[in-house]
Structure 1
């Protein structure tokens, strides 16, 4: 199999060198060119024919957003990974880039670290993304959209919707969330793998276009129907019983699946409190975070939906769940909202959500 061809675009010589050396150290990657700004990058794409482009957000002459607009017009399916600073401005521009069609993003290492430390950060964060995005074509014999024979047999009404998503998630959520019914009678909790600041901006943007109330969780919120709670970057979000209801809680326990927030952490507490009343939804994402949480939901009689391979940016998280036989349905992204609306529309639900009476009290992990 030929190596993945990468074009590195950044106005900083040091960053171009860091990224190039971090990627070139892998035998499956070939850096076929570099560019100092967007204008040069658009020329190099035609010359080098890359499989993946890494694109700096802020550059002279033609910045990342303008470059992306031109690139998407001529190369609509070419994977593009934005490289952003971990600042308010960098996060905002990156969210704009994702809305314009960027495939994924990373945050650059801080300038306080050494050259070797920065290179390791790029190896850890960028290399897996490049490899995952270079294998986007569905594999032969891959799982197609399906409905399990057991679908629809459970009588327990849906009491909560728990969503886990990673690579490609902001765009997937921007498709899914506006299609949810405005009178949705259950709360929604979401883990999207993102760093601090990014999750708050994501919540604000979804709230502006979604019929439901969307917010980044601050911890301690009592779950209410028609409200959406997104785990903040850098914190695990769990659910805990509080008086007669259920509330969010945040902690900074160790990462799981190299993630914090992690889908498994949230799904475990959702399953322990809501049991068969849980609807778990696994969307596009790299890795297998959410697999063990879905196993717990399944064991307690809850339902699980997974996004199909064709509509996923990376069919890692939903692929593991589907291949484990845990998904009741594997669906294209544009069909998932309708299925959620159908499953969550059966019967009246209380406006403040109490746990199932038969479930034991779940304490938040320390």
Structure 2
């Protein structure tokens, strides 16, 4: 279902989707109010929802659409402005599956091509698995026998569904953990969005900022990789520092989880704990191989609580994960590793 007040934007999206054999456009709406009137009859698996619309905008319509069509996956579409980044992250907190940055000018052929590719990829990804919350079940006991070194750093990677999962994970993490070790997060997001996401994440009560090139990696702050740039780690003058750079995309991603994971394996060896949350694609798999070879443990989110089990699933299927856990079990597992104890 396409919801956008621009007839030109709807026609363009319809043209793209109509030629895809596995996608059917079941309805179009020019406002959120019209979408609400149509959604029950149209019964869509995915709603592509524009934010800026008259009468009823996307933010207002979102919770009503989710209530009217339980289980539907909503992709929020917005241009790359700070205001829209704020609203998009609010939509994710309300239950949207993901967002797709929209070109500010529909005449930019290169930007339109990238938008089309991302839109199609995300429609397919979220259609396969609708949004779901954590199970709340008691997490399994975690064995930590064979761990070579207590973690000196925690690295986290996520994509589709990641912002909400990261917020939930860090809200459950003992406050002492980021005080003890550096925590570094790669969430697939464009510029501006990562800045706003870091500000939202700070609401959990721990200092959060975007990583800066050349900055010494220290505990006490959660660092978020800035959008549009890779964040890696290097040793320099006896210190570990951030290497934030404009290298080519990895797995079509920048920032890429692989860049962080591979460099973390190089500088920390076994003394790093990696966590991979919900996300489409396979970014993080190559880095997870490096981490596992170095003896570093990896925790991945399970399929049942992931919006898309692409990134964590790829690592789990290759047997690289020390634990595959529901989202609500990951914080306590991190704490077990930090304390260096558990059941054999």
**TM-score, length-normalised on structure 2?**
0.92
Q: How does 1:146-157 map to 2 (within 5 A)?
A: 151-157=144-150
Which of 254, 274, 293 is the equivalent residue of 1:280? 274
**CA offsets, 1:73-121, max 9 Å, x none?**
333321000000111111111111111111101011231634x556533
Moved more, 188-197 or 244-253: 244-253
**CA offsets, 1:52-89, max 9 Å, x none?**
00000110000001100211233332100000011111
The SS at the match of 1:206 is helix
- Runs of 5+ unmatched residues, structure 1: 1-6, 139-144, 348-366
Specify the alignment match of 2:101 in structure 1: 107
Moved more, 87-96 or 259-268: 87-96
- Stretches (4+) displaced over 4 A: 116-119, 145-151
Could you tell me whether the CA contact under 8 Å between 1:189 and 1:228 is conserved in 2? yes
Which of 253, 264, 270 is the equivalent residue of 1:259? 253
Which of 168, 171, 179 is the equivalent residue of 2:164? 171
What is the alpha-carbon distance in structure 1 between the residues aligned to residue 210 and residue 145 of structure 2? 32
Specify the alignment match of 2:185 in structure 1: 190
Q: How does 1:114-129 map to 2 (within 5 A)?
A: 114=108, 117=110, 119-129=112-122
Which of 18, 31, 38 is the equivalent residue of 1:37? 31
Which of 288, 309, 315 is the equivalent residue of 2:309? 315
What is the alpha-carbon distance in structure 1 between the residues aligned to residue 85 and residue 251 of structure 2? 23
What is the alpha-carbon distance in structure 2 between the residues aligned to residue 175 and residue 240 of structure 1? 30
**CA offsets, 1:285-323, max 9 Å, x none?**
000000000000000000000000000000000000000
What is the alpha-carbon distance in structure 1 between the residues aligned to residue 111 and residue 24 of structure 2? 20
Q: CA deviation at 1:246?
A: 1.1
Specify the alignment match of 1:92 in structure 2: 86
Moved more, 212-221 or 97-106: 212-221
Which of 177, 195, 200 is the equivalent residue of 1:200? 195
Could you tell me whether the CA contact under 8 Å between 2:106 and 2:112 is conserved in 1? no
Specify the alignment match of 2:152 in structure 1: 159
**Corresponding position: 1:77 with 2:71:** yes
Q: CA deviation at 1:18?
A: 1.2
Moved more, 241-250 or 118-127: 118-127
Q: RMSD in angstroms over aligned alpha carbons?
A: 2.0
What is the alpha-carbon distance in structure 2 between the residues aligned to residue 150 and residue 272 of structure 1? 25
**CA offsets, 1:181-218, max 9 Å, x none?**
11221111111000000001110011112x43211112
What is the alpha-carbon distance in structure 2 between the residues aligned to residue 274 and residue 107 of structure 1? 35
Specify the alignment match of 2:322 in structure 1: 328
Could you tell me whether the CA contact under 8 Å between 2:82 and 2:196 is conserved in 1? no
More helix as a share of residues? 2
Could you tell me whether the CA contact under 8 Å between 1:306 and 1:331 is conserved in 2? yes
Moved more, 20-29 or 57-66: 20-29
The SS at the match of 1:29 is coil
The SS at the match of 2:52 is coil
Q: CA deviation at 1:146?
A: 9.7
What is the alpha-carbon distance in structure 1 between the residues aligned to residue 154 and residue 121 of structure 2? 29
Could you tell me whether the CA contact under 8 Å between 1:147 and 1:330 is conserved in 2? no
Specify the alignment match of 1:341 in structure 2: 335
The SS at the match of 2:278 is coil
